[in-house]
Amino acid sequence: MATSMNTLVFLLACGVMLSVLAPSSADFLTDEFKKWVTEHRVKYKSKAETLKRFGIFKANYLFINESNHNPKVDFKLGLNKFADMTNKEFLAKFTGYTPLTTKPAPTSFRYADTTAPSSIDWRTLGAVNAVKDQGQCGCDGGLQDSAFKWVIKNGGIDSEEDYAYTAQNGTCDATKTKRYIASITGYEDVPSFNETALMNAVANQPVTVSIDASGLFFQFYSSGIFRGPCGLNLDHAVTVVGYGGSGTFGKYWIVRNSWGTTWGEEGYIRMWKDSGLPTGLCGIALDSSYPLLN
């Protein structure tokens, strides 16, 4: 009886309607947690830590379930590897990009007069490396985070393996930054508050962008066209590798993340394009740039 009462109090405290979760027993959530721990090979140091993480997992599970049953939310969330982390813990570990407060004088925007196609996907053109899990190394952002030192030669595209991390133990390996096939001589910024300018740039090459990746919706994004909610606190650097879709609500940016292939759509997220916001969704049109190669 005490266990059932505690479960009810917990659910009500989370502000989640019990009808959303079926079944909603403590045993069901315990089983789900055990399956998640096994799937992700998670080990906790103590019983107290296990109980703490179970409580966080339950809150996240209920949030995900409620969102996925909400007819007003047409993208899906999922129980990924971050399911035992609070949003605060998640942001502290996997975001942290800070836009430069001072930048060099802006150069000309070479793609201003581009006639962009209706869609493009640089993944199909060989310009995008496989998605990696950069862990905390992905917090630096900017051109270093995207690592798109690629060059078009003889009608083909070569890309390098220069990610500064070792996935096995999650520590950065700075020596890997010395592996390259092209040198970046600088970069150009894409004009801010202008999704058309961003589209023109992406039509010619992948582009690094800064976004607001805070919030549980982004943390647990699984599939579909992400529409927020999100703000304008640019705390994460990612790379736009294409765009597509049609109609007012069906256009999207193809965004490459650095949290591994178990997050999102095999490491990617489709973000609403041409949302009508001057900043773009999550600030995607505020702070973007692309490398210049020799």
- Report the alpha-carbon distance of residue 195 to residue 213 in Å, rounded: 18
- CB 293, CB 184: distance < 8 Å: yes
118 CB-near residues (< 8 Å, 6+ apart): 244, 246
Query: Is the per-residue pLDDT at 178 higher than 80?
Result: no
- CB 160, CB 182: distance < 8 Å: yes
Which of the 8 DSSP states describes residue 219? H
Residue 21 pLDDT class (50, 70, 90 cuts): very low
Answering whether pTM is above 0.95, one says no
- Report the alpha-carbon distance of residue 170 to residue 49 in Å, rounded: 21
269's tokens: 């997220």
Average pLDDT, the chain: 80
Judge residue 240's burial from the number of C-beta atoms within 10 Å of its C-beta, 0-12 exposed, 13-18 middle, 19 or more buried: buried
Q: What is the pLDDT of residues 242-279, one digit of tens each?
A: 999 998 889 999 999 999 999 999 999 999 999 999 99
The pLDDT of residue 12 is 40
- Report the alpha-carbon distance of residue 111 to residue 104 in Å, rounded: 19
Q: How far are the Cα atoms of 169, 223, 238 from residue 153, in angstroms, in the given order?
A: 35, 34, 25
